[in-house]
Structures are given as C-alpha cells and as structure tokens.
Structure 1
Amino acid sequence: MIWYTGLVLAVAVERLAELGVALRNTRWSTARGGTESGRGHYPAMVALHTGLLAGCLAEVLLTGRPFVPWFGWTMVAVVVSAQALRWWCVATLGPRWNTRVIVVPGLPLVSGGPYRWLRHPNYVAVAAEGLALPLVHGAWITAAVFTLLNTALMTVRIRCEEAALSGAAAPRAPRASRTAGGADVRA
C-alpha cells in the first residue's frame, strides 16, 4: 500500500505541475486576446479529479483490496502511458494548452502530434488514467464512479470546446484537428 500511496501522490504532484503550466499559459493566452468559455463546469472538474485521487486511497484502505500483480502492473503501464500522452499533448499545444477552455482568436487549429490522429487526445489520456489508476490496486468502485462522472463531464467539456473553437479559429486545412488545449485538471 505504501508504494501505491506514492504512485497516487506522484500523480497529484503531476497535477500541480499541470496547474503551473496552465497558469503560465493562461497569462500568455489572455495577453493575446484569449477568452475563457465554460467556467461553470471547471469547479466540478477540479472536484472530480481531486476525488479520484482521494478515492483511490480511501477505497483501498477501507476495503483492504489486495494488489493483484499481473493486473496491477498492467494498469501501472496504462497510467504511465496516459501520462506520456498527456504531456505529448501539452508539448504539441505549447502555450495554447490549458486546463481551462481558453481560445486565442485567429490562431490556426492544431493538427500535429497526437492531434493528427485523435480529435481530443488529452481526454483519452484522462479517461485511461481515471480508469487505470484506481485499478492498479483493485479500487474498482472508484474507477467506475470516476468513469461515469467523467463521461458526463467530458460531454459538457467537449461541447464547450467545440463551440468556443467554432467561431474563434483561423481557417484550417481539411484534416486539422480541433482543440482548445484540452486538458482537464485536473484535470
């Protein structure tokens, strides 16, 4: 359980790093006329992602769930892969990446990196991590509840992003992906 607590705390530290990047990028975007959309769902997103981390530890502690090596290590690999995908998104979007939906008018839509293949790759990372992190140590209730609530939240979030992008982006090439930065807090 000690190493699992360390893993969850490492993810929490990663979340704090994301917030630092997001704050810097918010300043960059607003200095260029960026406007925020979807402020209403942001507190729910923060609460959900904080709840995920707390739920992982609480469920394992309260239920005594065992670590099943073959499954747990597979889920660790999914968590690590999700982190790699997330930071690939951050690197690809550069100063346009954010945990909030902030669009700078006139910038072309991003079509490189993981956006070449997926419309919202950061949300794929969020979904994978939200399922896998609790399952590393058998916290299946936390995994199920997070996945259900995250699906509802991402439906709202993606609609918000698409609406914000539809009127703000410069003309794009036919295959360009559409993303405002698509993070989540943590998202």
Structure 2
Amino acid sequence: MPADWALAWRSPIVWVLALVVVQRLGELVLARRNTRRLLARGAREVGAAHYPLFILLHGSWLVAIAAATPLAREPSWALLAVYAALQALRVWVIAALGPYWTTRIISLDGAPLVRRGPYRWVRHPNYWIVTAEIAVLPLAFGDWLVALVWSVLNALLLRHRIGVESRALAARQAS
C-alpha cells in the first residue's frame, strides 16, 4: 500500500468526512420518504426552486473541507466534540418533527405546527444547528476560510428560505 493511502486511512479528516457523508445520505433517504408520504396526503411543496442551491452548498462545503485540509492535520478534538453534540441536537429536531421532517419545504394544510422538542423554545432549530455545523466542522480542522465563506453563503440562502417557509406555515394553526 502506498504511503499516501496509509496516511489517508489514518487521517481523522477522512473518517470524519466519511461519517458526515453517510449521515447526510441517510438523512436524504429519510427526507425523501417523508416527502413522498406528505405529498401523498395532499401536502404541497413551496420554494422548490432554491432547493438545489442547498444541495450545492452542502456538497461543496464538504468538498471544500476535504480540499483545504491536509491529511496529516490533527483536529481540535474539543471542536469535534461540539460537532458531535450538534449531531445529537439534529437527531432531536428530526425526532420532534417525526413524519413532517424533510429537507424541503412541504406544508400539509390543516396539520398543526410542531411545538415539542426544541420547537418549544426556538423557531427553526434545525437552521441554527446547521449554521453552527457549517462553522464548527471546518474550524475543527483549522479551515477558517471555509467556515467563513460557507457560513456567509448559508446565511444568504437561509434568509430567503426562512421567509418562504414562514409564509408557507403562516396559514397553519399552532398546536
């Protein structure tokens, strides 16, 4: 095995990014299933035009981290622990929304708004978590430029998306 391959298999960045990719792909499978079920119940999607930009943003974020991080770089284990804690919060958000969790804006007229889990205290908790993830993961590997650029791009997209989502949900009653 060449020395570069041996270094890659021992590199924390390779393992961390692999775990993130597997997690995100699993979430996309769950989101797609929930989206299909909601649409079958009469829900409608709004804001579909900007959705590919989120796919591009998140995919390019992972590529940028991989490109900017030398294989031999040791991470900040404390920041990786923060990132792991963010994943626990992400699971909490997904569990709280249950069958309503998707990566798209899908609204089912007449369905109550979720007010349990983190939604008891915070509007759009998933967006807060993703915002933190986009900064924390690259910072764990010293990639401050990736953290800065993708945080700004994420903020611009979220500004638009939150407006679209808020308008879509305004007609629904809070439970």
Deviation at 1:50, TM superposition (A): 0.3
* Greater relative contact order (Cα < 8 A, sep 6+): 1
Tell me, in whole angstroms, the C-alpha distance in 2 between the residues paired with 1:65 and 1:123: 32
Q: Contact between 1:29 and 1:96, CA under 8 Å: does it hold in 2? A: yes
SS at 2:109's partner residue?
coil
Q: Confirm whether residue 109 of structure 1 aligns to residue 82 of structure 2.
A: no
Q: Contact between 1:65 and 1:137, CA under 8 Å: does it hold in 2? A: no
Q: Confirm whether residue 18 of structure 1 aligns to residue 27 of structure 2.
A: yes
Overall identity of the aligned pairs, in %: 43
Q: Contact between 2:13 and 2:69, CA under 8 Å: does it hold in 1? A: no
Corresponding residue to 2:47 among 38, 48, 58: 38
Deviation at 1:59, TM superposition (A): 0.6
Q: Contact between 2:79 and 2:139, CA under 8 Å: does it hold in 1? A: yes
SS at 1:102's partner residue?
strand
Letter in 2 for 1:57: A
Q: Confirm whether residue 84 of structure 1 aligns to residue 91 of structure 2.
A: no
Corresponding residue to 1:172 among 160, 171, 174: 174
- Equivalent residue for 1:67? 74
TM-score scaled by length of structure 2: 0.90
Tell me, in whole angstroms, the C-alpha distance in 2 between the residues paired with 1:102 and 1:18: 16
Query: What are structure 1's unaligned runs of at least 5 residues?
Result: 174-187
- Equivalent residue for 1:7? 16
Tell me, in whole angstroms, the C-alpha distance in 2 between the residues paired with 1:156 and 1:78: 27
Tell me, in whole angstroms, the C-alpha distance in 1 between the residues paired with 2:64 and 2:96: 31
Letter in 2 for 1:136: A
Corresponding residue to 1:96 among 88, 95, 100: 100
Deviation at 1:65, TM superposition (A): 8.3
TM-score scaled by length of structure 1: 0.85
- Which one has a bigger Cα radius of gyration? 2
SS at 1:81's partner residue?
helix
SS at 2:113's partner residue?
coil
Q: Contact between 1:75 and 1:136, CA under 8 Å: does it hold in 2? A: yes
Query: What are structure 2's unaligned runs of at least 5 residues?
Result: 1-7
